[in-house]
Amino acid sequence: MAASRPTVVTVGGRELKLTNLDKVLYPASDLGPAFTKAEVIDYHARIAPTILPHLAGRCITFLRFPDGADQPGFFEKRCPKHRPDWVRTAIGPGDRGGDIGYCRLDEPASLVWSANLAALELHVPMALAADLESPRAVVFGGAGTGKTVLACEKARQLTDEGNTVLLTCFNEFLARRLSADKSLEHVTIATFHSLCISTARSAGLEVPTSPESKWRISDAPILLMEGAEATGLNFDAVVVDEGQDFSRLC
C-alpha cells in the first residue's frame, strides 16, 4: 500500500511536513484507548509553552519508537542530518567518533518536528549546552536519577571551602567505588549502617555480630547518636545520598 502523502503545517512561522499521522504509537490497553501519531504531535504542540523552558538550550537525546511504544525503540544522540535547517544543534558529550552535535529544541516547531520522528522520550541533561559542567537542578528520586553525582559534587565543593565532610551513600560497593575516587580523598565516605556500627563499636557499645534488618531499622540510628556523642564524632557538613535512613533520626 502506498504511503500517505505528507501533511504540511505551519508552527510558529516554520513549515513542517508531518507523515504517517494515522499510525498508532500508543496501542489501546486496559488503561485507555490508542493514540495515533497525529494525537501525539497535537499533544506536543499544546504543551510546548510549558515544556520548552525545560528543554531550551540543552543537548537533547531522543528515544524514538517509530513502530510504536510497544515495539523496541532506539536512542539517537546525534541530531539527524535530514533535520530542517532551523533546528539548531549543540556540541555535547562525545563518543569514540568524536564530538556529537545534539538536537536543540528551542521553539514549538522543533518540538513538533521531534514528535513527528516518534521521539516519545526526550532525555535532557541537567546542564545547559553552553556550560555542561554546571548543573542547574537538584534531583530527588530513585536509583539512576543522578543524585550520587550531585552529592559527590557538593561534597567536593564543601571540602574545597575548608569543611570536614561526611558523605553517606547507598551500599558498600558504591562506598568502595567513591573511596577510590581521588577527587574525594578528603571526604569521609561510608554507608549509613556501616557508620552506625563503626561509631557504636568505637564507643564500646554492644553491636550484634550479624545485625538483622529489624536491628538496622530500630536500634542502629540510636546507637549512632549515642556513639557520636561518646566519641566526639563531628563534621562540618554531612551530604546524604540516600535520605531515608537519616529520616529515622528525626
Q: CATH number for the domain including 16?
A: 3.90.920.10
- Among residues 99, 129, 159, which one ends one of the domains? 129
CB 23 within 8 A of CB 117: no
Residue 106 within a domain: yes
Assess whether 113 and 158 both reside in one domain. no
Residue 229 domain-assigned (yes or no): yes
Both 87 and 168 in a single domain? no
Is there a single domain that holds both residue 20 and residue 55? yes
Q: How confident is the model at residue 169, as a pLDDT?
A: 76
- Helices 37-55, 108-116: crossing angle, 10 deg rounding: 140
Domain encompassing residue 203:
147-249
In a shared domain, residues 120 and 154: no
Residue 78, classified by CB atoms within 10 Å of its CB into exposed (0-12), middle (13-18) or buried (19+), is middle
Residues 25 and 56 in one domain: yes
Name the domain count of the chain.
2
57 phi-psi bin (left φ>0, alpha ψ -120 to 50, beta other): left
pLDDT in the model for residue 11: 94
Look at residue 181 and tell me if it is in a domain.
yes
Looking at the fold, whether 107 and 11 belong to one and the same domain comes out as yes
- pTM tops 0.75: no
Are residues 120 and 152 part of one domain? no
Q: What is the pLDDT of residue 248?
A: 46
Amino acid at 84: P
* Among 129, 158, 176, residue at a domain's last position: 129
244 against 29, higher pLDDT: 29
Q: What does the pLDDT look like over 191-219, one tens digit per residue?
A: 877 777 777 778 777 776 665 555 555 66
Same domain? For 21 and 115 the reply is: yes
22 and 98 belong to one structural domain:
yes
